[in-house]
Chains A and B, each alone.
Chain A
Amino acid sequence: MDIALKVREIIAEQAMLDVADVRPEHTLADLGVDSMAVVEAIFVIEETFDISVPFNANQPEDSDFDISTVARIAEGVQRLVDQKP
């Protein structure tokens, strides 16, 4: 599976945009993804890749999972997928 593409698709779904309009350098704010949509996107990511994402909505910036850009999210997912037993 192309993880980066799948992550873009999941975020595009939340942002109600075409995948083509979701670029790796975009921040979630750029795409109009609010805090509720972030929590939902993380849920979809966990279900899709069968991973557990360390993310606390109270302090996104302090979580071990970087959501600053689409690319960072994809990297984080890749890392968690690689760590799977």
Chain B
Amino acid sequence: MKRVVITGAGTINALGHDVPQTLEAMREGRCGIGPLVFRDVERLAIRIGGQVRGFEAEQVFNRQQLSLYDRFTQFTLIAAREAMAQSGLTFGGELATRSGVVLGTSGGGLTTQDENYRAVYEEGKNRVHPFVVPKLMNNAATSHVSMEFNLKGPSFTVATACASSNHAMGQAFHMIRSGMCDVMITGGSESMLCFGGVKAWEGLRVMSKDACRPFSATRSGMVQGEGAGVFVFEEMNHARARGAEILAEVVGFAMTSDAADIVMPSKQGAARAMQGALADARLPREEVGYINAHGTGTAANDKTECAAVADVFGTHADRLMISSTKSMHGHLIGGTGAVELLACIMALRDGVIAPTIGYEEPDPECALDVVPNEAREARVEAAVSNAFAFGGLNAVLALRRV
């Protein structure tokens, strides 16, 4: 089996418009969540989110591109450009046909849908822009990445709600490990922060009106974010041969299904996914120093996740660090695992553990070291990144320091 390393990373999210800004914000425990700004926000009960600010698409993309790029595609391309630039790769010949794109998203072009529903239903228009379909389709971002960088191998989009990115990156990992591909562009993107997107979430009554406080007894629910995280996964010998800088090695991946409930998480399903990732990586649990938690800030997730971690890691659960960076960038739904992988890379590479901010009061059911409020320096050999989706679909990645 081939080994898989990460040779490029890119992002745009509420904490920053690139990886250095985002990691700096995580190190400082800065909060990217604030008042939402978009049309009809006054009709919402939930008016906070991790919105990308100071971003003007017109500065980055031309008119033709904007007519085809939903916000989730724009975010993807910005992150992909950063990751590609860092990797130093260009694609042609056989490498192009042996390289592809697998990205996660849950809502795809939801903003495009929202705007066009508004036009036909609310404003009574009978005509929509000709590119509505290619703009809103869930695979639009994947396709535009493949076109921009000439990636001609296996490419598709994965949609498993909050686990989309982790499932996507797991697929990319498998495709390189099996020898099917040499390089995969992978990660995910989400842009649900529009009136219809937030209104739908409001209905579930699990959204917080003030802050995302994972693992804190005072938690009041989840807060949505937006943005993208994109990585270059590369076969290790391929990366070494060209002297590429290696950010981390992807060593294991597992996915499970709870087969139980459409929204309530299951301890067993989560535990089996973590256990599976460790087994896949042949990683003794004692070597895991950091877990990037799913940590949504809902009572259901946080209690279940902590119980699952305790089950899987036994007494080592009290020695490892586990944090939820959703407290800073919000929950990016289909893009969340990708942005959160950055925290794992930072832990492995820089020895800095991103904190769980907004932490106010211990919850006896979440009695783990959640790295409250302040980042910490620690040498970490291996890290695990959790994603547990609505629908009971779980995907866990394991990374190692290089």
Contact = CB atoms under 8 A, between A and B. Distances in A.
Contacts of B204: 39, 57
A55 interface: yes
B146 to A, nearest CB: 39
B206 interface: yes
Contact of B219 (A42, A43, A58): A58
Interface in A33-82: 35-36, 39, 42-43, 55-59
Nearest to B219: A58
Contact of A58 (B203, B264, B298): B298
Contact residue range for chain A?
A: 10 to 19
Nearest to B222: A58
B263 interface: yes
Contact of B221 (A42, A43, A56): A56
A57 B299 CA distance: 9
A42 B263 CA distance: 17
Contacts of A59: 220, 299
Contacts of B208: 58
A53 to B, nearest CB: 9
Given A56-B220, A58-B219, A59-B220, A39 B205 contact: yes
A58 B206 contact: yes
Given A39-B204, A43-B203, A58 B220 contact: yes
Interface in A7-53: 35-36, 39, 42-43
Contacts of A35: 264
A84 B262 CA distance: 35
B263 A36 contact: yes
Interface in B194-230: 203-206, 208, 219-221
A35 B208 CA distance: 17
B125 to A, nearest CB: 28
Contacts of B205: 39, 42, 55-58
Contacts of A55: 205
A59 B204 CA distance: 13
Nearest to A40: B203
Contacts of B203: 39, 43
A43 B200 CA distance: 13
A56 to B, nearest CB: 6
B47 to A, nearest CB: 15
Interface string B347-382: 000000000000000000000000000000000000
Contacts of A57: 204-206
Nearest to B220: A58
Nearest to B262: A36
B299 A58 contact: yes
B129 to A, nearest CB: 33
Nearest to A56: B205
A39 B298 CA distance: 15
Nearest to B203: A43
A71 B318 CA distance: 44
A59 to B, nearest CB: 6
A57 B208 CA distance: 10
Contacts of B206: 56-58
Contacts of A39: 203-205
B263 A58 contact: no
Contacts of A42: 205
A43 B204 CA distance: 9
A43 B199 CA distance: 13
Contacts of A58: 205-206, 208, 219-221, 298-300
Instruction: Among A36, A42, A56, find the residue whose CB has the most chain B CB atoms closer than 10 A.
Output: A56
Interface of A: 35-36, 39, 42-43, 55-59
In order of increasing CB-CB distance, the 7 nearest A-B pairs are: A57-B205, A58-B221, A58-B299, A57-B206, A58-B298, A39-B205, A58-B206
Interface of B: 203-206, 208, 219-221, 262-264, 298-300
Given A39-B205, A55-B205, A58-B219, 11 more contacts: A35-B264, A36-B263, A36-B264, A39-B203, A56-B206, A56-B220, A58-B205, A58-B206, A58-B220, A58-B300, A59-B220
21 contacts: A35-B264, A36-B262, A36-B263, A36-B264, A39-B204, A39-B205, A42-B205, A43-B203, A55-B205, A56-B205, A56-B206, A56-B220, A57-B204, A57-B205, A57-B206, A58-B208, A58-B221, A58-B298, A58-B299, A58-B300, A59-B220
